[in-house]
Chains A and B, each alone.
Chain A
Amino acid sequence: MQETKNEVTAAASSPSQPMSCFSVYVGEHMFGIPVSDTQCIFRVDKITPVPLSPRQIAGLANLRGRALAVVSLKSKFDGSAADIKPGALAIGFQVASDDYALVIDRVGEVLAVEPGQRMSLPSHVSADHARLIEGLYKVGDDLVTVLNVRELFA
């Protein structure tokens, strides 16, 4: 388990310095999440569903005595109902002193993202999705979609 004590503070802006990103996978899709935004990576044990809640909230999970609102990255992008199995991998965030867990399929390596690698977002990406994306970066041969964590839980 990796843990840092970070809070997502300001809305992410284009980095002027190189930043480290976790590469995370949902199915075959890869996303980048700034390491500085994350608190920890853990496995979700048991999820308490929250009736009447917004669709992307899968429920509440307990992480060491704190209740985290669990959001599925998959349903965030494809709009499907969150279906999360016990033991699913999640990244913990703190946004505006609220705790969240973002469920993903797996975590890859840490990438160094340079400001110079930033590319403009293809124009046919829908506005709803574009809002969740901080930027598109060309790292080596990969195209990395770096997420805007603050918008993910807004």
Chain B
Amino acid sequence: MDELLRDFLTEANEQLAEAESLLVRFERTPSDSSLVASIFRLVHTIKGTSSFIGLVRLQSVAHCAETLLGRMRDGEPPTEQGVSLVLSSIDHIRDLLHDIEANEAEPEGDSSAIIAAIDDYLLNGAASVQASPTVEQAPAAPEVLDPEPAEPAAQAADESAAEDTSKAIAKAPRAADAAETRGNGQAGGGETIRVSVATLESVMQLVSELVLARNQLNELTRHSDNDALKVSLQRLAGLTSDLQDAVMRTRMQPVSRLFGSLPRLVRELSLDLGKKIELVTEGGDTELDRQLIEVIRDPLTHIIRNCADHGLETAEQRVAAGKSPQGEIRIRAYQEAGQFVIEIADDGRGVDLERVKAKAVASKLVREADLAGMTDAEISRFIFEPGFSTAAAVTNVSGRGVGMDVVRSNIESVRGSVELATTKGRGTRLNLRIPLTLAIAPALIVEAAGQRFALPQHSVAEVVEARRGANGTIRSVQDKLVVDLRGEVMPAAEMPNLLGITRPGENAAQSELVVVMRASTSSVGLLVDAVVDVQDIVVKPLSRPIAHLEVFSGQTILGDGSVLLILDPAGIARKLNVAAAAHVARQRGQENDSAALSTRMVMFSTGDGIEKLLPTSIIARIEQVKLENLKRSEIGVVMPYQGTLIPVIELAPSTHTDTVPVIVVSVAGVLFGLSVMRIFDIVEDTVEIDVPSEDGATLGTCRVNGHVVDLLDPMELLDRARAVGARAAVDKSKSVLLLTGDARAIDLVRPLVKAAGYHVTVAQSATAVSALANTQARVDAVLLDLDVPVPDSAELANISEWIGRAPVIGLTRDGDNSGNAGSAKNPNVSATAGFDRRQILHVLKSNIAAA
């Protein structure tokens, strides 16, 4: 059965039961107007939902009952006939529900009898109903399976108004009947039971304690030699993790619950605005913590209103712009990198950035001079400022300037973020990213003022080592501490001062760590002594006696049993009184034109002699990854990152160190890693490409701060990363055989070719070649080292049968890198490439494509 329908049936049956009991109380104490109001609401809910699901007959009956209840709510004294009629209609609704549950559709026939009876009552008052026989017919309508329901209503209508007792007697069998009906219904749809959230929470709590106990046991037995104990402990540990997952899942609900109400909203908007709008939803089965579903409900509604009102054009405008007259709002939910993402895209006119600029200046959010240095993305973020609206006219749908800032603060309150991308004339896309569950968040554990604190990772922009003093990063201005980071000056705080802890006799360290935190619109630097750890914490609200402390947002208990306080960046910013100065922080230190065009980039080497650059804007994180965590799976190299696996492109040859620096890049919503040799620095400069590249991997070569560097092409890297992912689906990747006697060549060429998405087999000796030939594995291309051939290359003659028509590409170090077919050194070679990364890939690509 449709989930929506099933939920409705469960809820409606409960609501009916409640309404019924309330109604009986109401009849006894008609002075209690809150009772009838409650009943009215219950019936109204049933009416609303049934209309939404398209249960017309149910809706019409509920509508009548609602009208009748409305009269009573407005002060009309409840006559027994009136109450009986409501009860009859409730019975009738229940019978309908019963039928719907059995047949997944409304039964044939109509409910005109009961509707007519109520209408008659409403028009003529109690007397006429008593005279009218229609009530008797109503519950006995053909679709009623059990003839008994006719009894009470008929009885009620026949009895005189004074006889309360007989009424009560009549009620009794009805209630029993109702219970039975519900019982049957639940037996039919018995895959779910309703459990109170409090119960789930307490189970969750117990599991958290179990996890703690397990961790303690692990610690105690770490040095034990008792294998039997260790084996059972491992089992316990595994089961505990599974249990934790399972309990977490009980809190998860598919977002289709959220999507369910959207078609109606869009239909109404479409009518109100006179625009043709199509709604497309994808990923409704993506699951999210139930609490979070409620949190995003309002923001989502608001964004859709905005899309429909501001984003989409009228049909005429669309046709004039060469688009289809029907606008589209596309909503997609998916999980990515441990986060839940909901994407709302329209194909409308896009955000008018010029108007945003003008409005931002007019509302004094920014100085005109600063606008020049801002990217489109930065400008579009003004939309999320309080009181900002670019709508020329305020409509009743949207445009009152309350909204997008509320959207942002709602999402940020659950540690999420909002991104906006817009293209003029093509549309706007909003991404809401929120954690999968509120209960667990990754956090930095920092040490400061002799104590450990947790800092939610979503609010940490970066951690830098900094020096104090006139030339250092940490300076004081008017006795206030500031951090001057790459020209951006932000307020800073020392933890002991901030927390009122005095550390007598202790000199400030020469070099300190600055944690740069994002607090809504401003940045704050927090000076800490050390970053101790990064771990997932279970966030709990602050105990009441300390709940008023604004610098803390919660508390948590770590695996070792210690209690940590969670720092609140927004609270710290408030305490530093920087909220008012939010936009000053945006101001760049240098206010010349070149600063506006300069880009911040990470400089690193991949071991091929020339430094590489990537803009920091696309870098999510830089990590030292243990070699054992770089897994060579069937689909390429992957590594664990925030709970998922991300593809890793190996830019540097494998080393003999234990860890490898990996740059985690996020391009177009795809996360992937780049393993490199060494990371040098973050540089900031204008980038002007002196030597454009013909190859895809680099955009070109340029001079930055006196270094000659290659600027990598993020899009090309993205393609390669996607290739790693795509290979999961296409299990047969192109297979390349590398034949060389040179160990160094293997180190250089193999990772390169592999990173490009090929499957690489290496043979260093004649025996290896013949062994491979015996397997008859498919080969799509051969890379043959011409300078340091495999010893006893005569074997090569034997493999031609095996490799078939696969191209043989010669690799040479002597500069003959023309890529021409044929070679003096080996007649089998169809092309040659120099010992150059780009050429090898290029020749390989074109030859495999040609083959």
Contacts and interface: CB of A to CB of B under 8 A. Distances in A.
Nearest to A153: B545
A60 B563 contact: yes
Contacts of B551: 51-52
A114 B545 CA distance: 33
A61 interface: yes
A48 B563 contact: yes
Interface string B196-207: 000000000100
A48 B558 CA distance: 12
Contact of B549 (A53, A68, A99): A53
B561 A62 contact: yes
A69 B545 contact: yes
Interface string A49-74: 11111100101111011111100000
Contact of A48 (B205, B212, B451, B499): B451
Given A48-B562, A48-B565, A62 B543 contact: no
B565 A50 contact: yes
A98 B451 contact: no
A98 B565 contact: no
A96 interface: yes
Interface residues of A, number: 25
Contact of B208 (A60, A65, A96): A65
Given A65-B212, A67-B543, A51 B501 contact: yes
B209 interface: yes
Contacts of B563: 46, 48, 59-62, 67
B540 interface: yes
Contact of A52 (B205, B499, B540): B499
Contacts, number: 67
Given A48-B451, A48-B564, A60-B563, A98 B557 contact: no
Contacts of A153: 545
A69 B546 CA distance: 8
B500 interface: yes
Contact of B205 (A49, A54, A65, A100): A65
Contacts of B205: 65-66
A59 B562 CA distance: 12
A50 B540 CA distance: 15
A150 B499 CA distance: 29
A52 B544 CA distance: 14
B449 interface: yes
A96 B544 contact: yes
A57 B545 contact: yes
Contact of B543 (A45, A51, A60, A64): A60
A89 to B, nearest CB: 18
Contacts of B500: 51-52
Contact of A46 (B499, B544, B561): B561
Interface in A30-54: 45-46, 48-54
Which of A46, A50, A66, A69 is packed against the most chain B CB atoms within 10 Å?
A50
Contacts of A59: 563
Which of A46, A49, A65, A100 is packed against the most chain B CB atoms within 10 Å?
A65
Ranked nearest first, the 9 interchain pairs of A and B with the lowest CB-CB distance are A51-B499, A65-B209, A60-B563, A48-B563, A69-B543, A98-B544, A53-B546, A67-B563, A67-B555
20 contacts: A45-B561, A46-B562, A48-B563, A49-B451, A50-B546, A50-B565, A51-B449, A51-B499, A52-B549, A54-B545, A57-B546, A60-B543, A60-B565, A62-B561, A64-B209, A64-B212, A69-B543, A69-B544, A69-B546, A98-B544
Interface of B: 205, 208-209, 212, 449, 451, 499-501, 540, 543-546, 549, 551-552, 555, 557, 561-565
Given A52-B499, A52-B549, 10 more contacts: A48-B565, A50-B549, A51-B551, A61-B563, A62-B557, A62-B561, A65-B205, A67-B563, A69-B546, A98-B543
